[in-house]
Structure formats: structure tokens, C-alpha cells
């Protein structure tokens, strides 16, 4: 306990000016409500026209539920909703963590090589998967592409981490530059494989790149969910470390932050969440940049609420985008990546333009 011997000019307990945590707390509550609302809407809306409230009312009243209704809700809409929540929260938190680590509001997990590696993995899975021995194919089944994407993402990240870490110290600047070089090499390799793809594989590749939650299933949730959940649980422990890093690595170390540990955990957290998200939903862009940025405008850059609120808002945003994607041209589906890019692109441009003063310095 610390006693302060300086005079106090205000009664104790009075809120300190410039402390925006109460705003973050209130916003957190609102975002929980928003997510609940969006989740209910998402369960209730779909191409089949099954009404979730009616089914719920039937179930509560003890009436028989039609088997088709049950399948639509429990095996189609619910896993899809959960996937949307996991992927949206995972992408948004990874974005916020990366921005804190790189000290740049436009950073994203793509800088870790995860996205490029995952893309190479998915492309290899789609194009070269057929050449694998039958035994392996029957073992992996439909999960070959997600598994290859996840493996590719992690391999790229570990390679980059190894390259930029010398004598137990990771250089964020080296990581940024080496990431560009690595992404170029991975891109070339991906291009080479794409060159040999046939027409139907090309179509699969294109749709994978646009992202979709259409493949959501309980199996995928069980595989990717724990990884994303672990990342979401780890993220709040990074908050104070990332706040300190905003002052620079030296100043962060001076106040007692174990900088290398924060960097390593941040990278692992972002890679786990992004790798798993990309594996089960393909390439969904902009959530990781738009959501944290929007929240920073509202509550400031303090990571103690930023990370939690990013998870909540990211989940809501993706579930909403998914609702649009599966209803706007029903019964067909628009890839969700198109919708996030349609909203995210102009937003990103606005962020750039409104930060021009800082960027031009």
C-alpha cells in the first residue's frame, strides 16, 4: 500500500480526469447487449424461413419440434452463429494486439505472415490435395483445406519469428520488413501452384479467398474454437504490456514490463486466432483494422477495455455481415469477404485520410 504525502485537492474516490475506463466499461455492457441482439436476429433469419422465436416458444411449451426446424437451427444456424462470433472476435482482437505491438493503427496479423502462409496452405490443399495418398485423404476428408491453411499460417509465422529474433530479442522492425520479403516469396509459390490449377480448382480458390461461413460445422468449431478461445482469454493479460509498449520498448522495460514476453505472447495470440479463423472461414479482411480503430475513437487507445470490446464488436460485426451475406441474394450466398471489404475499404480510406497529418510526418 502506498500513502501519498502530497496534498489532495479533491475528495478521494472522485474520478480522475482523463481516465476513460468508465466509458470502456459502459461500452462493454452495450456491446454485450448488441451481440445478444445480433445473435438472436441471426438465429431467427435465414433462407429457410424457420422462425427461431416460434421454435423456442414451442420447445418451452413442451410441444414437438419439427425435425427440419431442429436441423436448421441446431445444425446449420447455431454453428454458423458461433463460427461468426469466434472468427469475428478472433480477427478483431488479433488486429488490436498487432496494432499495439507494431505501434501502428494500420497493422494487422497479415504482418506476421499468417495470412500469406494460410493462403499458400489453402491453395496447396485445393490444387495439390488430390495428389495425396488415398489414406491421408480419407483421414483428413473435407478438412484438408482448413488444416493446410492453419499449418501454412503457423509455419510462416514461426519462420518469421525465427528470422527476426536474435539473442532472445525480437525486433519488430525486422519482422515488418522480413514479413514483406516472406509474403513476396510465398506469393510467388502460390502463383506457381495456381498456374497449374484447373478451372474448377480456380473457382474454389477464388471463393476461398473471398471468405465464407457457409462451411460452418460443429466439427470445425471444436477444432478451431479452443484455439480462438485461448487467444481471446490470453489477450486481456497483454493489455497493460501493450499500453507500456506505446511509449517504446525501452520505456516499457523501465516501468517493469517484460517486453520480450509481451511480444512473444502477442505474436502467438494473434497467430493462433488468425490462423484458426482463416482456416475455417477463408480470407475475411478489414475486421481487424476497422473494429479496433472505431473503438479507439470512442474510448481511447487504453488496451484494458480496447481488447475486450474489440472481441465483442468484432463478433457482432461479423455475425451481421454473415446475415447480409446469406439473405441478400437468398437462396444463393454472397461471400462474406465481399461484404466486409465493401464496408471496410471505404472506412480504411477514411482512416488514412483523417490521419494524413500524422502519416505525412
Partner 1 sequence: MSVCARDLRLRLGRAPILHGVDLTAQAGRLTAIIGPNGSGKTSLMRVLTGELAPHAGEALLNGAPIARQRPEMLARRRAVLPQQSALSFPFTVAEIVRIGLHSLAAGEAERGALIRAALAQVGLPGHAGRLYQELSGGEQQRVQLARALVQVWHPVGEDGPCWLFLDEPVSSLDIAHQLAVMRLAEDYARRGGGVIAVMHDLNLTAMFADHVLLMKDGRARAEGSPAEVMTDRLLSEAYGCELRVSHTPREGVWLLPQGARLAG
Out of 46, 79, 105, 337, the residue judged to bind partner 1 by CB under 8 A: 105
- Residue 46 touching partner 1 (CB under 8 A): no
Residue 1 is placed in which grid cell? 500500500
Whole-number Å distance between alpha carbons of 90 and 111 = 16
- When asked if residue 90 is in the footprint of partner 1 (CB under 8 A), the reply is no
Which one of 29, 74, 188, 247 is in contact with partner 1 (CB under 8 A)?
Answer: 247
- Asked if 133 touches partner 1 (CB under 8 A), the answer is no
Interacting span for partner 1 (CB under 8 A) from 12-20, 58-66, 76-84, 125-133: 12-20
52: which residues sit within 8 A by CB, 6+ positions away? 40, 43, 44, 73, 77
Whether 235 and 269 have beta carbons less than 8 Å apart is answered as yes
10 binds partner 1 (CB under 8 A): yes
181 near partner 1 (CB under 8 A)? no
Contact call for residues 130 and 196 (beta carbons, < 8 A) = no
Binds partner 1 by CB under 8 A, chosen from 60, 250, 332, 353: 250
Report d(CA 238, CA 350) in Å as an integer: 29
- Asked if residue 257 binds partner 1 (CB under 8 A), the reply is yes
Residue 169 parent element (H or E): strand 169-170
Among 48, 51, 104, 171, binds partner 1 (CB under 8 A): 104
Stretch that binds partner 1, among 49-57, 98-106, 183-191, 226-234 (CB under 8 A): 98-106
* C-beta of 7 vs 67, nearer to partner 1: 7
Between CA 65 and CA 314 the distance in angstroms is 33
Q: Report if residue 258 touches partner 1, rule: CB under 8 A.
A: yes
C-beta of 13: minimal distance to partner 1 in Å? 6
22 binds partner 1 (CB under 8 A): no
DSSP 255: T
Q: Applying CB under 8 A, does 60 fall inside the site for partner 1?
A: no
Q: Between 1 and 173, name the residue whose CB sits nearer to partner 1.
A: 1
103 binds partner 1 (CB under 8 A): yes
Residue with cell 488430390: 130
The candidate with the shortest Cα–Cα distance to 282, out of 312, 245, 325, is 325
How far from 358 is each of 97, 296, 352, CA to CA, in Å?
21, 16, 10
44 in contact with partner 1 (CB under 8 A): no
Binding to partner 1 (CB under 8 A): which residues in 182-241? 240
For residue 132, with 0-12 CB atoms within 10 Å meaning exposed, 13-18 middle and 19 or more buried, which class applies? middle
Please give the grid coordinates belonging to residue 166.
Answer: 536474435
Q: Which of 176, 197, 253, 298 binds partner 1 (CB under 8 A)?
A: 253
* Stretch (H or E) spanning 165: strand 165-166
Footprint of partner 1 (CB under 8 A):
1-4, 6-10, 12-20, 103-105, 240, 243-244, 246-248, 250-251, 253-258, 296, 300-302
Amino acid at each position: 500500500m502506498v500513502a501519498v504525502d502530497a496534498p489532495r485537492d479533491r475528495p478521494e474516490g472522485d474520478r480522475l480526469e482523463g481516465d476513460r475506463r468508465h466509458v470502456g466499461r459502459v461500452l462493454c455492457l452495450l456491446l454485450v447487449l448488441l451481440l445478444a441482439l445480433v445473435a438472436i436476429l441471426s438465429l431467427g433469419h435465414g433462407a429457410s424461413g424457420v422462425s427461431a422465436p416460434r421454435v423456442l416458444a414451442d420447445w418451452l411449451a413442451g410441444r414437438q419440434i419439427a425435425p427440419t426446424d431442429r436441423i436448421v437451427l441446431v445444425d446449420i444456424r447455431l454453428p454458423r452463429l458461433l463460427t461468426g462470433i469466434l472468427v469475428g472476435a478472433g480477427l478483431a482482437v488479433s488486429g488490436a494486439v498487432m496494432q499495439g505491438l507494431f505501434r501502428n493503427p494500420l497493422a494487422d496479423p497479415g504482418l506476421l505472415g499468417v495470412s500469406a502462409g494460410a493462403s499458400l496452405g489453402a491453395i496447396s490443399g485445393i490444387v495439390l490435395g488430390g495428389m495425396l495418398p488415398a489414406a491421408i485423404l480419407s483421414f483428413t476428408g473435407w478438412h484438408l483445406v482448413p488444416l493446410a491453411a492453419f499449418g501454412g499460417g503457423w509455419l510462416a509465422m514461426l519462420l518469421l519469428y525465427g528470422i527476426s529474433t536474435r539473442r532472445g530479442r525480437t525486433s519488430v522492425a525486422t519482422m515488418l520488413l522480413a514479413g514483406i520479403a516472406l509474403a513476396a516469396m510465398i506469393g510467388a509459390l502460390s502463383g506457381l501452384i495456381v498456374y497449374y490449377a484447373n478451372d474448377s480448382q480456380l473457382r474454389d480458390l477464388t471463393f476461398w479467398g473471398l471468405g465464407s461461413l457457409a462451411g460452418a460445422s460443429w466439427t470445425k468449431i471444436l477444432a478451431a474454437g479452443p484455439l480462438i478461445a485461448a487467444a481471446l482469454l490470453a489477450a486481456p493479460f497483454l493489455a497493460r504490456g501493450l499500453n507500456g509498449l506505446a511509449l517504446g520498448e525501452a520505456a516499457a522495460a523501465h516501468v517493469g514490463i517484460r517486453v520480450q514476453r509481451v511480444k512473444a505472447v502477442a505474436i502467438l495470440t494473434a497467430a493462433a486466432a488468425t490462423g484458426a479463423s482463416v482456416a475455417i472461414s477463408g480470407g475475411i479482411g478489414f475486421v481487424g483494422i476497422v473494429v479496433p480503430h472505431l473503438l479507439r475513437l470512442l474510448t481511447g487507445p487504453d488496451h484494458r477495455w480496447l481488447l475486450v470490446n474489440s472481441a465483442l464488436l468484432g463478433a457482432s460485426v461479423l455475425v451481421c455481415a454473415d446475415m447480409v451475406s446469406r439473405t441478400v441474394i437468398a437462396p444463393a450466398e454472397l461471400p462474406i469477404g465481399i461484404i466486409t471489404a465493401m464496408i471496410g475499404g471505404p472506412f480504411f480510406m477514411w482512416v488514412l485520410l483523417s490521419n494524413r497529418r500524422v502519416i505525412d510526418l
